[in-house]
Amino acid sequence: MTHSPATTAPGTDASAAPATIAPGADASVAPASAVHGADAAAAPAFGAPGADASAAAPATTAPGTDASAAPATIAPGADASVAPASAVHGADAAAAPAFGAPGADASAAAPATTAPGTDASAASVTTVPGAGAPAAPASGVPGADAFAAPATTAPSADASVGRSAPAMSDPPATSSLRSPFRPADRSPAERAGLAELLRATPARPVHLDGFLPDAQARALGETVRAMPTWEASAVLWDADRLATRPATLEEWRAAAPEERAAVREVARDIPALFDDGSPYPAELRVRLSDFFVFAGMGPDLRDLLGRWTAPGRPLTTNVEFARYRCGDTLGEHSDAESDTLFVLNLYLDPAYRAGDGGVLGFRDEEGREHLMPPRFNSLSVMPIRPGCVHWVTPWRADRVGRHTVSIAAVPATPGEVK
C-alpha cells in the first residue's frame, strides 16, 4: 500500500461526491423490515484518516438520503442482463432457496495480504462449493474496505445443503454456473458513470443504491452475519508510512495514533462452513454457495462488470467479508501498486443510520473528495489508480455493524476464466 498525502483540505469540494438519486425513497435507510443500523452529517472534516466523512456537503438528493456522501444512486428494477436463476451445481433452479430472510453480519473476511485500508483487501478468486477446482489463494483485495484480509474460499459442497453438487472428480465448466442473485438494472446516468470508471480523469467512483432486490440483500446479510468465525485484523504503519505490517489487537491499541493504519474484523475459516457436521445452517450454506457462484466462479458478475466498465480484457474477482466494531477504521492509503482495476463494496447492514460512521472516502488526482456512506444494499464502485487515495472513517455505533462484501476486479491470467 502506498500512502499518498492529501492534496486538498480535508472535506473540501463536496460537489465532487458522486450524485445520489434514490427515486421516491431514502436509500440511506433500510426499509421498515430492516433488522439492523447507519451514518451522518455531524462528523469531523474528512481529510485525515479516521475522520468521519459523513460530514460531507449538504444533501442534494432525495429527502432523507445521506447527503454526506455518495456518488449517483438510482436503484430501479431488475437487471435482465444477468442470467436468471437456473441450475446451480447441476441442481434444478426450482430448488433455489427463497431470498426473503432479513439481516446479516460479515465481520471477518479472509486474511489480507495487501496494503491496509483496502475495502476488500484480500480474498482471492473464490471457489464455489462443489465446483471442483480448489480456490486460488488470496492475493489481497486492494481498494477494499479493509487493509489486509486473507483469501476467502468456499470448500467442496456439502450434500446437506440440498443441492446436487457435481462430483469433485468431474467439476462443471465455470461458464455453466448460474446463481439466483440478480442485480437490479441501472439507470442510463448510472451506466454512463460506470462506463467512465476506468477512463475518466480525474477518477470518479460510483455509488449505487439498491444493488440487489431487497429480499436477496437481506437474505445475503443474514447469511454473512451468521458466519461463526471473525477475527480482528489490525495493521500498523512502518516508520516511513509507505508500508504496513500486521499487528495484534493489543499492539494496535498500544501504538501511537499516528502509527495505526487500520483495524476491523474479517471472516475466517469459511471452508469449514461446508464441512460435514458444521453448525452453519444448511439453508445458509446453499445461499453462500450461490453467492460464490455469482461473485467468483460463475460468469454472471464478470459479464456484468464487463458490460459496465468495458475493461478491454477478461476479469476475475477476489472476495472478502468484513465487519466493524466501535472505533474500527481504515487510514488513508492507495492500492495503486496492486493489479486491481476497481473494487466493489456491497454494504449489508440494514440497521445502518446516519451518524454510525464507517463512510468510505475517496480523493481523486485533483484533490476532490467523494464520500460514500455504507447504506444498506448500496454498492460503491471505486477505481484504483495512481494519485488516488481512499479511507474509511471510524465506526461510531456501539454495536458490530457495517457488514461488507468486498469484491476486487483484477485482470484474469490466460486460462483463468473459462
- List, in order, residues 6 or more apart from 305 with CB less than 8 Å away: 311, 315, 344, 409
Domain boundaries, the chain: 14-411
| Integer Cα distance of 335 and 147 in angstroms | 10
Predicted confidence band of residue 144 (pLDDT cuts 50, 70, 90): low
Q: What is the DSSP letter of 29?
A: S
Q: Three-state secondary structure along 321-371?
A: EEEECCCCEEEEEECCCCCCCEEEEEECCCCCECECECCEEEECCCCCEEE
Predicted confidence band of residue 242 (pLDDT cuts 50, 70, 90): confident
Of 26, 79, 142, 98, the C-alpha closest to 386 is 142
| Integer Cα distance of 177 and 293 in angstroms | 7
pTM above 0.85, yes or no: no
pLDDT at 269: 94
Rounded to the nearest 10 degrees, how much is the dihedral formed by the CA atoms of 47, 51, 55, 61? 80
| Integer Cα distance of 378 and 304 in angstroms | 16
Reading the block at residue 189, the C-alpha cell is 446516468
pLDDT at 413: 85
Distance of CA 325 to the CA centre of its chain: 17
Average pLDDT over residues 403-412: 96
Dihedral angle sign, alpha carbons of residues 25, 402, 412, 417:
negative
Reading the block at residue 373, the C-alpha cell is 456512506
Predicted confidence band of residue 48 (pLDDT cuts 50, 70, 90): very low
Of 114, 4, 120, 13, the C-alpha closest to 386 is 4
Q: What does pLDDT average to over the chain? A: 70
pLDDT at 418: 52
Rounded to the nearest 10 degrees, how much is the dihedral formed by the CA atoms of 107, 110, 114, 118? -30
Rounded to the nearest 10 degrees, how much is the dihedral formed by the CA atoms of 323, 324, 330, 335? 0
pLDDT at 41: 35
The HSE-up count of residue 25 (CA atoms within 13 Å, CB side) is 14
Question: Which of 116-120, 175-179, 214-218, 371-375 bottoms out in mean pLDDT, i.e. has the lowest?
Answer: 116-120
pLDDT digits (tens, 9 = 90+) for 371-403: 999 999 999 999 999 999 999 999 999 999 999
- 262 versus 74: the higher-pLDDT residue is 262
